[in-house]
Amino acid sequence: VSPPPFARVGIIGLGLIGGSVALAVRRRWPAALVVGVDRPDVLDAARTLGAVNVTAADLRSMGAVDLVILAAPVLTNIETLKRLPAAIAGNAVVTDVGSTKLAIMEAARDLPARLAFVGGHPLAGTAQAGIHFASPDLFKNRRWVLTPDGNSAESAVARLDEFLRALGAETCQMSAEAHDRVTAWVSHLPQLAASALMRVVGDAVGDEGLQFSGTGLRDTTRLAGSPAHIWTDVCRTNQSNVAGALDRLIDELQELRRSLDRPETIEGVFEASARWRERLPE
């Protein structure tokens, strides 16, 4: 076993992602110390699952750490980021796992040089949230996007990259702007569409009507079970990209609505759509 790139890892927010990172670190480097910060009941669960060695009720009692992972909803991560300089005495690499990157990269510019921030976003998830669904294998062969900017120290990027690859992730780098633009389409828009669809269908037909649904509605709305509080922050911190994507989807639905009696238009949409669907990665 090679020495851990970080000896003491502080994870703030032990949900599905934070909990899975904790479990993966504990398995990969038994000598590394994982310090968890969350609500008391979540910390109890994390201890029981063997995800953390040390628990802390707040930032200040976290003690010395050389890697900080912000794993709460985006706006909470940004608030925590602002409190890090007062809470951590020494040097540390700081990263996050949030679904939007521009807002936190901007907030990180105010950090002192001893706290080297590199934004991150693992493209991994499950239908269900919370540490009870966490797994040390969650990141295996999944992309983990890093969004360093001119303020990110090269050595911090390299160390974090080594750390994430050792957890099984396939790291890649892009700008925060490009990240937020593409995820608005491939992640945030599908989430909003699934939630809107499930809401209007349920309201329209009720429990009785839902009995006539099949695997189609079930698959299309799987995301509708996602926790709301994570997504409100995503919407707020990626407003203009998400608004543009929603506008385009609304236009397309209006075009379909106008074309219900025009088979060639409907076919055009279906065929373009089926071609893209075949090209989705496995």
- Residue 241 beta carbon to a copy of itself: minimum distance, rounded to whole angstroms: 10
- Residue 247 beta carbon to a copy of itself: minimum distance, rounded to whole angstroms: 7
- Residue 96 beta carbon to a copy of itself: minimum distance, rounded to whole angstroms: 17
Handedness of CA 110, 111, 114, 120 (dihedral sign): negative
Pick between residue 41 and residue 271 the one whose CB is nearest to a copy of itself: 271
Pick between residue 111 and residue 129 the one whose CB is nearest to a copy of itself: 129
- Nearest Cα to Cα of residue 167 among 133, 144, 134: 144
Where b means 16+ CB within 10 Å and e means fewer, 142-176 reads eebbbbbbeebeeebbebbbebbeebbbebeebeb
Pick between residue 89 and residue 178 the one whose CB is nearest to a copy of itself: 178
- Nearest Cα to Cα of residue 115 among 144, 86, 72: 86
- Residue 77 beta carbon to a copy of itself: minimum distance, rounded to whole angstroms: 16
Pick between residue 30 and residue 206 the one whose CB is nearest to a copy of itself: 206
Residue type, 79: E
- Residue 180 beta carbon to a copy of itself: minimum distance, rounded to whole angstroms: 11
Q: Determine the Cα–Cα distance for residues 10 and 62; give it in Å rounded to an integer.
A: 7
Pick between residue 154 and residue 219 the one whose CB is nearest to a copy of itself: 219
